[in-house]
Amino acid sequence: MKWIGFLLILSGCIGIGYSYVNEYRGRIETLSNIRNMMHYIQEMITLEKLPLSEAIARTAQRMEGSYKTFLEEVARQLDLFSPEELVTIWQTQGRQMKKVLGGKDLEEFLHCMDQSGFASAASQGAVIRQYESELSKRVTALTREREEKCKLYRSLGILSGIFICVLLF
């Protein structure tokens, strides 16, 4: 029975380590998807000269899952209300992205449209481009650290499982 308990504790701790690895990789993927989403919106505004609500609606067609739902709802709300309400609409609908984003990433996402100067297409594109570049830097840094962090999480999972087993048995 001791050996069964030993194996269960060890496998549980290893599983926790691997879940942190998956969480880290998921964060990188999520930030990359948001960066792509913002890039599409910025492209539609600056290159195709579309109004903000239409640019968001067209971007929603390129996205899937939570991103698509979020963008469709923002575009619908922008059509109903004035574009000056963008910050409020973005933050209200963005709170539903808690499933995808967490902590600091969610807060930055909610406040990325807080910038003033949304009167012209050029200023809208500049604000979105700035947030996109911040996301690119963060994704690059996380990707660079990925191998080290994942190795650390796996090792800590294994070592903590062994440590707990030694303490208990």
Tens-digit pLDDT profile for the chain (169 aa)? Answer: 888 888 898 899 999 999 999 999 999 999 999 999 999 988 888 888 888 888 888 898 888 888 888 888 888 888 887 666 777 888 888 888 888 887 888 888 888 877 655 566 677 778 888 888 999 999 999 999 988 999 999 999 999 989 988 888 7
pLDDT of the residue at 84: 64
How many whole angstroms separate alpha carbon 98 and alpha carbon 92?
A: 12
Q: Output the six-digit token pair for 153.
A: 């999480």
pLDDT of the residue at 115: 66
> What contacts 116, CB < 8 A, 6 or more positions away?
none
pLDDT of the residue at 21: 92
pTM, full prediction:
0.82
Count the neighbouring beta carbons within 10 Å of the beta carbon of residue 40. 21
Q: Which residue has the tokens 């660079």?
A: 144
